[in-house]
Structure 1
Amino acid sequence: MLEEGSVSGMSSGASTPEHEAPFTPKFVVRLSDHVTKDGDCVKFTLQVSQNGHTVQVLEREYEDFEYLEHCVTTSQPSHGLIIPPMPQRSAIDPYNAEIQSKRLMGKGSKTLIPDEFHKDCLQLQKYLELLLSHPVLGKSQKLHDFLTVKEAPPRTKVKKGLISRLSDSLDARKASYPDCEEFFQKERDWVAKYQPAAANANDAFSKIICAQLRISHQLEQMVTALKLSSLPNDQVHYMQFNNMNMIFLDCIDTLKTQTEEKADKEDLMFGAVQTLWHRYVQAENAMLLDRTCLMVDYQACNRALDKAKPNRKEAAERAKKEAEQAFEECSDAARQEIKEFQRKRVEELQRSIDQYAAYQLTCSRATLNTLTQALSQIKAINL
């Protein structure tokens, strides 16, 4: 029988699933920028298309997406699947909006960051695209109903009870168990190193975006100060000062606008992608933990079968076969999921980094052009 920490006798590598044709999403979803807000209720507009034709235009709230995630992941077996992560909800009430603004702009700032629903739309659209393109989750009837039924399905509050929390705690303790397969052990080791590194990279990039927002705010204050510093045009040197001041003011105002646009686009271009795949790795880690729990259960069933008395042998054998099947099916699905996940992660992050680098060059040239034009205009003034 199998020893502790080994399932070598029934390794999932023994079963190799046949290659299937690439899965094609049934629908194409676009979230428009038309967002309605009524107090704490925010409604997003979804345009659902099939074969190039619009089949439905829907309104959904964030809570509807949360309930969709719950239904899709609980209405079918999900062992071995890396579940696409839901984007975090933006701060919509004044209190949380103020907290977020102070975090971005500094504790002493009184500036409130406006609602950025366009970012929420893009992130929720990406979430639906990931669900629709998943070969298992994309076939979910719950997802189909979410995108085709005009009225949102009635949702219930999903809460974790004490037993569920205790179960999660016990499962987390199994994360240190050595894996029986080198492929999964290497993946677990990689996740353990990548997760904190990705979190640090997210924090560092977030600080860059915050710094740009603060610079934009300071440039706005400088513009206001320059507007107040104009002098009466009753003397020649006053007129010359006003002309130079106006040129400089326009230059700073342009730089302020460019900095705001740069922070917004960079956050969407690279920050959102980085955050998505960081959270996706967390989802992969949850899947690997689930597989480890199945492996530990399988080992326990093997030990129980060894020690079973004759009158309990049949039940122990049945439990062992069920645990074996669950572990094998999970391992086969997980292997395919991990390979596809890593392929998409590398491709999207590489594409995002390329776009980010190219955009940096574009912005730098625009800034240089703005400063050069201002300098030329100031030099042209006859002093």
Structure 2
Amino acid sequence: MLEEGSVSGASSGASSPEPEEPFIPKFKVQFSDNVNKDGDSVKFTLQVLQDGLMSHVLEREFEDFEYLDHCVSTGQASRGLIIPPIPQRSAIDPYNAEIQSKRLMGKGSKTLIADEFHKDCQQLQKYLELLLSHPVLGKNEKLHDFLNEKTPPPRTKVKKGLMSKLSDTLDARKSSYPDSEEFFQKERDWVTKYQPAIAHTSEAFNKITCAQLRISHQLEQMVTALKVSTCPNDQVYNRQYNNINAIFLDCMDKLKNETEAKGNQEDMELGSTVGLWSRYLQAENNMLLDRTCLMVDYQSCNRALDKAKPNRKEAAEKAKKEAEVAFEECSDTARQEIKHFQRQRVQEMRECVERYAAFQLTSARTSLNALSIAFNQIKAINL
């Protein structure tokens, strides 16, 4: 008889064999800057490449990617996979765009932030690249159809029914169930601590980006005010003031452009990467919860087999065997997924932070240079 905290006498720690050759994606994708917006409809243009050559060009809407995500998430025969997360949809209707602009620029601001479809293109391209490079998901037929067929998939709104929501609620209650293996228990404990931390980091970094956006907007208002504050050149001191004003105006304009470019670059680099791995942690958490549910089912089948009457022994043994196979296969797959996930996460975050630090240094030098030039030019004016 198995202990309550135990799963089976045989360990599921046997790792799945590594593939002899690295997986090579069948397709590569590249989004173009050609984004068409018609009301609430936004069409992205992506180029599909095969064998290094462009195969064809497709147009897809965000709903198409949502449907692809649903198909990939629910259509996998093997369990234990960490499904790459689809990015959040940008606000495109006027009402939500106004809400987002006030969140970024402040409640009292009347400035509307322009559509930033280049960010959507970057994030959606990364999403497809993660799917295509995955040794299992990269072979998904729905994914290949999505990239092969000119006609997009049916834009069906995916909704969860009442029974599905109840099932998710019951499964979520098993998240605190102690794991039978130390490896997975440590990973679950780590996710529990790291997930809110990286979510907080993502939110804090977004606030920094928003602050830089507001500073850029305020510098733009200062530049506008300086342009209309010139005086007639009929007096010497007026000419001196205009010279100083022109130098200062030019310096503030450069700082405004640098601040705006800095905010956009930081958001595209570190902001999007932190946001991606914040969502990715939720995907790993979902996988770990799914495995925990299989573990609980397996333990329940073990207890049922111990208590089964002779006429039900065969059915209980069969149910136990099926639950064991499902759990062991999921555990082996999950172990490899977690190891790959952690290697990729650490590598991408390290590279991103290095680029971020280098960009901060370059940006600071550019700003300092602009201020130094303006200061020396003003000092050279004979007052």
Q: What band does the TM-score fall into relative to the shorter chain?
A: over 0.9
Q: Partners in 2 of 1:102 and 1:50 — Cα distance?
A: 43
Q: Does residue 327 in structure 1 map to residue 327 in structure 2?
A: yes
Q: Partners in 1 of 2:76 and 2:184 — Cα distance?
A: 24
- After superposition, give the CA deviation of every residue in 1:150-202 in whole Å (9 maximum; x if it has no partner): 11122322110000000000000000110000000000000000011111111
User: 1:8, CA displacement in angstroms?
Assistant: 4.2
Name 1:288's counterpart in structure 2: 288
TM-score with structure 2 length normalisation? 0.98
Q: Partners in 1 of 2:373 and 2:76 — Cα distance?
A: 62
CA RMSD of aligned residues (A): 0.9
Q: Partners in 2 of 1:158 and 1:282 — Cα distance?
A: 19
Is the CA contact (8 Å cut-off) linking 1:23 and 1:135 kept in structure 2?
yes
Q: Partners in 2 of 1:74 and 1:16 — Cα distance?
A: 25
Q: Structure 1: which 5+ residue stretches go unaligned? A: none
Name 1:125's counterpart in structure 2: 125
Name 1:19's counterpart in structure 2: 18
SS at match of 2:49: strand
Name 1:347's counterpart in structure 2: 347
Q: Partners in 1 of 2:15 and 2:215 — Cα distance?
A: 56
Q: Partners in 1 of 2:323 and 2:117 — Cα distance?
A: 46
TM-aligned CA distance change 1:95 to 1:370, over 3 Å: same
Name 2:44's counterpart in structure 1: 44
Q: Does residue 157 in structure 1 map to residue 187 in structure 2?
A: no
- After superposition, give the CA deviation of every residue in 1:221-254 in whole Å (9 maximum; x if it has no partner): 1112111211111101101101100110111011
Name 2:376's counterpart in structure 1: 376
Amino acid at match of 2:354: D
- After superposition, give the CA deviation of every residue in 1:2-45 in whole Å (9 maximum; x if it has no partner): 121211413311x3321102111111100111100000000000
Is the CA contact (8 Å cut-off) linking 1:5 and 1:177 kept in structure 2?
no
Report the more deviating stretch, 233-242 or 148-157: 148-157
Show the 5 A alignment for 1:1-383.
1-13=1-13, 15-20=14-19, 21-383=21-383
Q: Partners in 2 of 1:367 and 1:48 — Cα distance?
A: 40
Is the CA contact (8 Å cut-off) linking 1:67 and 1:155 kept in structure 2?
yes
Percent identity, please: 74
Q: Partners in 2 of 1:135 and 1:234 — Cα distance?
A: 75
Amino acid at match of 2:102: K
SS at match of 2:2: coil
- Deviating runs (4+, > 4 A) in structure 1? none
Report the more deviating stretch, 373-382 or 156-165: 373-382
Amino acid at match of 1:128: L
Amino acid at match of 1:17: S
Q: Partners in 2 of 1:103 and 1:134 — Cα distance?
A: 36
SS at match of 1:10: coil
TM-aligned CA distance change 1:263 to 1:78, over 3 Å: farther
Is the CA contact (8 Å cut-off) linking 2:97 and 2:112 kept in structure 1?
yes
- After superposition, give the CA deviation of every residue in 1:275-321 in whole Å (9 maximum; x if it has no partner): 10111011000000000000000000000001111111111000000
User: 1:98, CA displacement in angstroms?
Assistant: 0.6
User: 1:204, CA displacement in angstroms?
Assistant: 1.2
SS at match of 1:9: coil
SS at match of 1:354: helix
User: 1:78, CA displacement in angstroms?
Assistant: 4.4
Is the CA contact (8 Å cut-off) linking 2:15 and 2:336 kept in structure 1?
no
Is the CA contact (8 Å cut-off) linking 1:231 and 1:238 kept in structure 2?
yes
SS at match of 2:174: helix
Q: Partners in 2 of 1:74 and 1:296 — Cα distance?
A: 21
Q: Partners in 2 of 1:72 and 1:218 — Cα distance?
A: 45
Amino acid at match of 2:150: K
Q: Partners in 1 of 2:154 and 2:278 — Cα distance?
A: 31
Aligned residue pair count: 382
TM-score with structure 1 length normalisation? 0.98
